[in-house]
């Protein structure tokens, strides 16, 4: 069993953007999402926790923010820099729990999207991150959070096998093993080399995070939760600092 960082460095980083389909479409969808949440009505600093290859950082910068992009995978940050060009994005290679030491002014927007939150090691780490977000976010600033719902539905049998992405040279399939507090995610990558298919496998744990627990924690921490939805198994919350 690997850590999330090990798994990305050794297995997923090289195919991360490919997994999403067309990166430009994902960036465009997030651009529209941020406009829907009215983050474009403010300017200043935005912080992207778990920035990956730039799916959130780039649209935030295009909307006029100066962006701090934090991720534990240098390969993905390098891809972000190549994709961003001259946009005002500063990349930080570190654990997202350490992000406050790179911030010199309060942010207007902080995002933690994709499935980044479930990569943390424990619920205590989640709580610590949310407290740090509160400390670094300006009053009335927005915190946008998305993460996979691994709590309300627990698939059984063959439902645990999930085809993720494929083309003529690469096939990615996930297998999910549910435990009490985590889901062990097995990524099976078949790559075609000549006339042969070569299989590489790796796994890592993701936290099972209860949507209601997060909502209650945000409210107790001084946030107003203004959106709390689930779409295709992905939880999306928007909270404003009171």
**DSSP-assigned states of every residue in 191-226:** EEETTEEEEEEEEEEEE---HHHHHHHHHHTTEEEE
8 A C-beta contact, residue 73 and residue 47: no
Residue 170, helix vs strand vs coil? strand
Share of the chain above pLDDT 70, in %: 100
pLDDT at 42: 79
The phi, psi pair for 89, rounded to 5°, reads -125, 125
Residue 132, H or E segment: helix 123-136
Per-residue burial over 52-79, b = 16 or more CB atoms within 10 Å of its CB, e = otherwise: bbbbbbbbbbbbebbbbbbbbbebbbeb
Handedness of CA 79, 84, 87, 89 (dihedral sign): negative
Q: What is the pLDDT of residues 7-29, one digit of tens each?
A: 999 999 999 999 988 888 999 99
Query: Could you give the CA distance from residue 48 to residue 145 in angstroms, rounded to a whole number?
Result: 10
Average pLDDT of the residues in 45-53: 97
Q: Which token pair is 149? A: 């719902």
| Distances, alpha carbon 16 to alpha carbons 75, 79, 187, 221, in Å | 10, 10, 12, 33
Residue 231, helix vs strand vs coil? strand
Q: Which token pair is 181? A: 């507090």
Name the pairing type of β-strands 182-193 and 234-241: unpaired
pLDDT at 200: 95
| Mutual angle of helices 123-136 and 211-220, in 10-degree steps | 40
pLDDT at 22: 86
Query: Could you give the CA distance from residue 50 to residue 125 in angstroms, rounded to a whole number?
Result: 14
Q: Which domains does the chain have, with CATH numbers?
A: 12-150+209-241 (3.40.50.150), 157-206 (2.20.25)
Q: What is the pLDDT of residues 112-122, one digit of tens each?
A: 999 999 999 99
pLDDT at 1: 61
DSSP secondary structure string for all residues of 24-54? HHHHHHHHHHHHHTTGGG--EEEEEET-TTT
Residue 19, helix vs strand vs coil? helix
Tokens 């205590």 sit on residue: 124
Q: What is the pLDDT of residues 123-160, one digit of tens each?
A: 999 999 999 999 999 999 999 999 999 999 899 999 99
């Amino acid at each position: 069993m690997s850590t999330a960082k090990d798994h990305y460095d050794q297995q997923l980083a090289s195919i991360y953007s490919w997994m999403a389909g067309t990166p430009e479409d994902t960036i465009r969808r997030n651009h529209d999402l941020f406009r829907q949440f009215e983050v474009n009505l403010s300017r200043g600093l935005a912080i992207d926790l778990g920035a990956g290859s730039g799916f959130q950082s780039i649209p935030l910068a295009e909307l006029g923010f100066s962006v701090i992009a934090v991720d534990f995978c240098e390969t993905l940050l390098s891809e972000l820099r190549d994709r961003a060009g001259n946009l005002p994005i500063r990349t930080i290679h570190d654990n997202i729990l350490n992000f406050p030491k790179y911030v010199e002014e309060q942010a207007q927007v902080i995002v933690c999207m994709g499935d980044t939150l479930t990569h943390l090691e424990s619920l205590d780490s989640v709580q610590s991150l949310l407290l740090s977000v509160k400390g670094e976010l300006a009053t009335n600033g927005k915190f946008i959070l998305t993460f996979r719902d691994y709590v309300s539905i627990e698939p059984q049998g063959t439902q645990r096998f999930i085809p993720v992405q494929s083309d003529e040279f690469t096939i990615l399939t996930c297998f999910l093993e549910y435990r009490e507090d985590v889901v062990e995610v097995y990524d099976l990558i078949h790559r075609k080399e000549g006339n042969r298919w070569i299989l590489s496998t790796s796994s890592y744990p993701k936290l099972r995070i209860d949507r209601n627990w997060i909502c209650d924690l945000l409210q107790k921490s001084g946030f107003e939760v203004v959106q709390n939805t689930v779409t295709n198994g992905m939880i999306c919350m928007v909270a404003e600092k009171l």
